[in-house]
Amino acid sequence: MKYMLIMRATDEAYAGMANTDFTEMIEIMGRFNDELIRAGVLVAAEGLTDAAEGVVVDYSAEPPVVTDGPYGETKELFGGFYILNVASKEEAVEWAKRVPAAGPGFKTEIRRVASIDEFPQDNEWIKKERAWREATGQL
């Protein structure tokens, strides 16, 4: 089963990281990533750029409204993610407990990634997606 570990933090937690040596941070995260790789569970991992570089597309109006970051009343920002292929939610939780970017203001949300096999296989769009995944080596 695949699980996404969604790395979240408050503005204050991110501000606190500003004083952390970037090379040291890369070393710490690199060691954790290496553990995931050696365990054979890492599928993907990406960090995101600063929220000030992002935009939000709000569909509450027609046409949708696009707002530049940083975002108004956000209590936590999504800063990156891991996708792990593990045997259970419990195993995903155990890996999340070991994430080095931890402390006050940091959280990891864990969500199972639905498999294409869970959708109606006779649906034309599912058939097209399955063919694309097979052609690109994703299945």
**What pLDDT score was predicted for residue 72?**
57
Summarize pLDDT for 34-51 with one digit per residue, the tens.
Answer: 999 999 999 999 988 887
In Å, what is the CA distance from 119 to each residue of 26, 84, 122, 123, 126? 38, 21, 9, 8, 7
Task: For 67, list phi and psi in degrees, rounded to 5.
Answer: -120, 130
Please, which pLDDT band fits residue 11 given cuts at 50, 70 and 90? confident
Mean pLDDT of the chain: 90
Contact present, 81 and 29 (Cβ < 8 Å): no
Which region holds residue 7: left if phi is over 0, alpha if psi is between -120 and 50, else beta?
A: beta
**What pLDDT score was predicted for residue 71?**
64
Assign domain 2-135 one CATH number from 3.30.870.10, 3.40.50.720, 3.90.650.10, 3.30.70.1060. 3.30.70.1060
More confident site: 76 or 107: 107
Task: Give me the residue spans of the domains in the chain.
Answer: 2-135
The pTM of the full predicted model, rounded to 2 decimals, is 0.84
**What pLDDT score was predicted for residue 92?**
97
